[in-house]
Chain A
Amino acid sequence: MTKENVQGAGEEEQQAQSKKALKKQQKEAEKAAKKAEKQAKLAAEQQETDEDDFAKDRYGICPMVQSQQKLDRALVRVQDLTPEKAEQQIWVRARIHTSRAKGKQCFLVLRHQQFTVQALLAVGERASKQMVKFAANLTKESIIDVEAVVKKVEQKIESCSQQDVELHVERIFVISQSEARLPLQLEDAVRPEGEGDEEGRATVNQDTRLDNRVIDLRTTTSQAIFRLQSGVCQLFRDTLINKGFVEIQTPKIISAASEGGANVFTVSYFKTSAYLAQSPQLYKQMCICADFDKVFCVGPVFRAEDSNTHRHLTEFVGLDIEMAFNYHYHEVIDSITDTMVQIFKGLRDRFQTEIQTVNKQYPSEPFKFLEPTLRLEYKEAVAMLKAAGVEMGDEEDLSTPNEKLLGRLVKEKYDTDFYVLDKYPLAVRPFYTMPDPNNPKYSNSYDMFMRGEEILSGAQRIHDAQLLTERAMHHSIDLEKIKAYIDSFRYGAPPHAGGGIGLERVTMLYLGLHNVRQTSMFPRDPKRLTP
């Protein structure tokens, strides 16, 4: 029986073997067939590439520009590609924004700053298949030089900034190649938040943006924001120079903390330590006592506040004004508000393109203001808040939510996003604020608000050494530390007042953005020190 079994098993084994063998053979046959196919394909491709590449010298990667030669070639900016240049053959240097191959054609979108234009490369008598393949494989963000003919298009290209023309590429060379994997995609960086959530497409986190600031700054929105910020600074300077102000530079390494001990950075200074200036206050005032009458300064301000809010930075650019007046500190308020209004008007009239670009990603209401600027008194503000149901004392400082509510109430009644609140209670202001002559509980101080958020805090300063000493003692400040400051008023000091604004905050509020880091190029806050 066992013999039979064995025999039977042997037979079965044989059968199984032959089955297995069959399967094996089949598999091998398939493999061989596939291999043969592949080889055939490769051979065919080889054939293709070996085919005459007649466009070999019209594309490629240029050697690194080490100033080898001085080419007499005029590069046209993407911004200037308009129907007027139709049929001209020109050179353009731009980045590859996107590239898309479709059979025998390749569509490229070239970008330079805020401007984009479509470029087309098609297989034909000027371009070979290899050239189109090369163009399709170029990485995004690479900088390329393109020689092309400008062609008018009948249908507007909605997705580009230059909508009436397109480029037909003749030659294409790479000047600087970008790595294939980008840390963030520019299209995602420009996408509005709502759209991202709705369509399930990605938007970029703020932290990612700030970590890869160099790429994030290339987006059209960022370009627009910082151009507008540059405009703010320029308008500030121009307006004040026209009013007869002198620009000064004040030291940032100082020996004593001016506003208060807590929020100041310490640096080691040879054998001792020094502080980074919290504001140019002391030095502005000293300049007034030195007969400069009207001064302003633009420079960094360092505040070591551990507040991680949407509107605080540890380092920001401060635009500060100080002015001597004749009889009443309202002369200074009028001057400051007029400067702000001139800045707003300049932005409204000359930077509309930038404002519209920012609004595409961050929609907001246009900024409204009155000329001359609306000035309300603190008591009126308290009355308005009380009428709206807020409980607060007459001499209490305004909390941030109250400030925002007040901003909304003022907007409703007067339709302005910018106003001045005058005559703050004395108790909530710094020691150098001049008290109100008629009511000792109030002071000659003022705050200015944009869109309900404070942008400027200013006051008439005490210019009498005696009164200054009294007020400092009242605030329990160590007189030794501010001796130099008090001394500067001992030898005849004119009555003066002033205030300062933060450039980033003003830009943020003007555009209606929600985080000051968007308007600071390389922001500094308690958690960020690089880039």
Chain B
Amino acid sequence: MPMYKVKPVSPADIKIDVPSCMYKSPNVHGHGMNCGEHALQNGEVDPSLKALEERQDEVLRRLYELKATVDGFAKTVTTPDADLDASTPSPGPAESVFKGTADLDSLLGKDLGALRDIVINANPARPPLSLLVLHALLCQRYQVLSSVHVHSSVSAVPPPLLSCLGPRHIDSYARQRFQLGFTLIWKDVSELQMKFSTQSMCPIEGEANVARFLFRLLGAEPQDPAAATQMDCWIDKAVFQLSEGGSKDRAAVLRSLNAALGRSPWLLGQEFSLADIVCACFVLRAGQTTSAPVNVQRWLKSCQNLGHFDCVYPFLQ
């Protein structure tokens, strides 16, 4: 039976115009190829191939050198005294973020054998989220006796605010066993206020200023004045533009946050600091975090991963 014959679609010999930039390789399937002539035996390498390899190695080496120099320059420009091989990833879990030491006696005055109690008066309409985060950090470093009170000027306070400092410590009946006291009083005040030693210290007003004071107790303040100023600058931006400014100011701050966070994992570079705590809390309180720029969202996620911010989430609507 005759088979189905397919007519040829194209004629056999077409002249193809090969572009001149391509290199021609010999036709392996062509006729008249004599294997014997061009065979490479015993791992001998074709000299032209060898030359090619050498050239390639040379080029790659020079590329690496260039890259290393450029990296070095980048690091010296952005981080004044960083190690050249300090490309560490984001800090790990919440365990010991701040390893500095602080001399409580010099910061808070001589220990006269009694509990050193820090008193914070806050308005329940505006819970100070950054102070809650700092409280969690303080509890990791020191033995802190935390208590929450409601002042008679306020008639009722929602239950989450009463337990915002966590469960009552088992030993809370023995005040002397604690190094620090943290007393939060919900009161009808216009501005958040902190009192410590009424004889020798005037009250500190404003959430950001109290945050700076508490951060000093952790001993993790940046030693370098430039970094310290930058930290203060970020905190002031958060206070004056994020929370007290209009929507334009807020948008501007979010943009500058985004830009800064594009360059490094945390606002001050490689280290988590008070600037991150305060700015993150103010951004979270302003709301609309899902519409924030990409880097800001990534940064908020990292903050959350640290674990210190868990106390803050119940207060966000």
Contacts and interface: CB of A to CB of B under 8 A. Distances in A.
Decide if A and B are genuine partners: yes
A415 interface: yes
Given A413-B195, A414-B119, A415-B185, A379 B113 contact: yes
A415 B113 contact: no
Contacts of A372: 147, 149
B223 to A, nearest CB: 31
Interface in B74-118: 112-115, 117
Contacts of B119: 413-414
Interface stretch (A16-24, A208-216, A363-371): A363-371
B153 A368 contact: yes
B114 A368 contact: no
A43 B152 CA distance: 72
Contacts of A349: 155
B199 A377 contact: no
Interface in B148-185: 149-153, 155, 173, 175-176, 183, 185
A512 to B, nearest CB: 14
B69 interface: no
B115 A377 contact: yes
Contacts of A412: 195, 198
B152 A330 contact: no
A374 B149 contact: yes
Most chain A CB within 10 A, of B114, B152, B153, is at B152
Interface stretch (A83-91, A140-148, A383-391): A383-391
Nearest to B185: A370
Contacts of A386: 112
B179 to A, nearest CB: 14
B151 A387 contact: no
B198 to A, nearest CB: 5
B112 to A, nearest CB: 4
Contact of B149 (A328, A330, A371, A409): A371
Contacts of A367: 152
Interface of B: 112-115, 117, 119, 121, 147, 149-153, 155, 173, 175-176, 183, 185, 187, 195, 197-200
B149 A415 contact: no
B43 to A, nearest CB: 86
Contacts of A344: 152
Contact of B152 (A368, A383, A409): A368
Given A369-B152, A370-B150, A371-B150, A383 B197 contact: no
Contacts of A380: 114-115, 117, 175
Given A372-B147, A379-B113, A416-B151, 14 more contacts: A330-B173, A348-B152, A367-B152, A368-B152, A368-B153, A380-B115, A380-B117, A380-B175, A383-B113, A413-B195, A413-B198, A414-B119, A414-B185, A415-B185
Most chain A CB within 10 A, of B113, B121, B197, is at B113
A154 to B, nearest CB: 37
Most chain B CB within 10 A, of A345, A369, A376, A415, is at A415
Kindly state the interface size class of chain A when it binds its partner.
Answer: 20 to 34
A409 B151 contact: no
A370 B198 contact: no
A367 B151 CA distance: 11
A366 B173 CA distance: 30
A382 interface: yes
Interface in A329-355: 330, 344-345, 348-349
Given A370-B185, A387-B200, A388-B199, A415 B114 contact: no
B199 A387 contact: yes
A377 B117 CA distance: 12
Given A387-B112, A413-B195, A379 B149 contact: no
Most chain B CB within 10 A, of A369, A371, A409, A412, is at A371
B172 to A, nearest CB: 9
A409 B198 contact: yes
